[in-house]
Structures are given as structure tokens and as C-alpha cells.
Amino acid sequence: MTGNLILFIILAGVAVGSALAMMFSRNAIYAALFLILNFITVALFYLILDAPFIAISQVTVYAGAIMVLFLFVIMLLGAEQTGRTPSRWWYQPVSLFLGVVLLVEIAIILFSQSGVGSASVEVPSTFGSPLAIGELLFTRYLLPFEATSILLLAAMVGAIVMTRGEKK
Amino acid sequence: MLPVIYYIGLSAVLFTIGALGVLIRHNPIVIFMSVELMLNSANLAFVAYARAFGELSGQIFVFFVMTVAAAEVAVGLALIVAIFRSKHSIDIDQMNTLKG
């Protein structure tokens, strides 16, 4: 138990630290790299939580494909640094205040329901394996699965239409 | 397994950091990354509860969230590229007209 707790604290520290570093880094490339570190840490959490298939998809889809797309667009536009626009002086304090309010709200809701799911459930060793996920995905969740394929097609067509040049 | 509240608490902290990033930053690409961070923290909560209840449906939903996130990034980055083409700048403070 203590070993698990120490592992959790280290990983949580890395996750929160990389998220904060992403938020505060001036250079968008560094922000993207910190976000990749955060995604990989979350993938490790998925492994701890008996979700190996989700963990691998996280690394390939998020840390791989999506972040490569981000880095590509940052470098394509040369948008590493946006100039410091003089924003309104109250903007950052108000944002910080709203963030703290959000965190407090979530904490209140969590502690009012802290009993939910606290009983430890034993799961079979195949829990979260590709076989179990695939079986559920292609039986009970077949219709949503097909709907996501339509969604991906629509996104693909939309991206192509929007970035197409104006000339005929 | 640690109590599920630890993971949910971490997820809440990550979500708040993502929301703050959306509010504070001026670079729309970094704002997009913050949205990804928020989606990711929701995924962490899904997986934690899936493990706590021994129910695989939570992991299936993470799969769907990942698909939606991929579609969103493709369209969103295409939008940013299109805005950059017409305005030659992607500062969020200058995107105040609907007409390009």
C-alpha cells in the first residue's frame, strides 16, 4: 500500500508539474512537449488502473498523433511566441479567482460523495485487455462505434475544406 | 488499489489547470492544448471509476472521448490555419470579427 502511495505521489507530482509548466511556458513548442510528458504520465496511471489497452491508445493517439499535429501546426505558422499584447489588468486575477472557485466547488462535491466507489472491487485479470474491450465495443457499443466513424469522416472532410485555398 | 478519491482529486486538479490555461493564455494553440488537458483529466476520472466499480463501460467511453478529441483537433487546427491565412496573425485578442 505504501509503495503504491509513493508511486502515486511521484506520478501525480510529475503530472501536475508538467501541466503547470505547459500553462506557464512562453514558447508554444515547450508547452507541447510538456503536454506530451503529461499524457505519458496519465498513460502510466491507466496502466496502474488496469487499463492497458487505453494506456497504449493514449500513447499512440494522444502523445503520438495529436501532439505531432500540434507541433506541425506550431512550426508551420511560426507561432512559437505570440507578442505580449497589453491585456486588461484585471484579467489574470479574475481568471485565477475563477479557477480557485472551480477547484473548491469540485472539492466540495467530491467530499460530499467520498463514499462512492470506495469499496475495493476485485477484477479478473483480463480486465481492460484488448479482447474484453473489443468484445464490448463490437456488441453493446456497436452503434456509437459506427457513429464515431461518421464523425471522423466529417472531421476529415471539414479539415480539408477549411484549409483548401481560395483559387478555383 | 488506492482509494478512487485520490485519482479523482488529481483529475480535478488537472481539469482546473486546463481551465485556467484556457482563460489566461493568448496563444490559441496553447488554448487548444489546455482543452486537450481537460479532456484528458475527464478520461482519468472515467478510468478510475471503471476500475473502482469493475465495469468496463468507463474504458469504452474513454475510447470515444479520444476519437472526439482527435476530430476536434483536426478541425480546430484547420480553423487556426485558415484564420492565420486571412489575418496573418493568430493572437486571440485580434479575433474579434466574425467576417474574415
Chain A residue numbers with beta carbons less than 8 Å from the beta carbon of B65 are: none
Tell whether B29 is within 8 A of chain A (Cβ): yes
By C-alpha distance, which of B50, B100, B26 is closest to A128?
B50
Residue A85, pLDDT above cutoff 70: no
Q: Is B58 exposed, middle or buried (0-12, 13-18, 19+ CB in 10 A)?
A: buried
Query: In this complex, is the C-beta atom of B81 within 8 Å of any C-beta atom belonging to chain A?
Result: yes
> What pTM was computed for the model?
0.89
Q: Which letter does DSSP use for residue A164 in this model? A: S
Taking the CA of residue B82 and the nearest CA in chain A, the distance in Å comes to 6
pLDDT bin (cut points 50, 70, 90) of residue A83 is low
User: Is residue B81 within 8 Å of residue B94, measured between CB atoms?
Assistant: no
DSSP characters for B27-49?
Answer: -HHHHHHHHHHHHHHHHHHHHHH
CA distance A108 to A105: 5
Contact B23 A15 (CB under 8 A): no
Give the C-alpha distances (Å, rounded to integers) separating B90 from A35, A83, A115, B29: 21, 10, 46, 9
ipTM of the complex: 0.91
Question: With contact defined as beta carbons under 8 Å apart, do A72 and B73 qualify?
Answer: no
For A42, nearest residue in chain B (alpha carbons): B44
More confident residue, A124 or A140: A140
Average pLDDT over residues B57-81: 91
Return d(Cα B65, Cα B81) in angstroms, integer: 24
If one counts every other C-beta atom within 10 angstroms of the C-beta of residue B72, the result is 17
Of B53, B70, B91, the CB nearest to A82: B91
B7-44 residue pLDDT tens: 989 999 999 999 999 988 888 889 999 999 999 999 99
CA B97 to CA B39: how far, in whole Å?
28
pLDDT at residue A138 above 60? yes
- Per-window interface: A 34-53 vs B, CB < 8 A: 35, 38-39, 42, 45-46, 49-51, 53
Return phi, psi of residue A139, to 5°.
-115, -70
Residue A122 is classified by DSSP as P
Q: In B, which residues are within 8 Å of A54 by CB distance?
A: 43, 47, 59, 62-63
The three-point CA angle B5-B23-A42 to 5° equals: 35
pLDDT band at A53 (very low <50, low <70, confident <90, very high): very high
Domains, chain B, with CATH or none: 4-94 (1.10.287.3510)
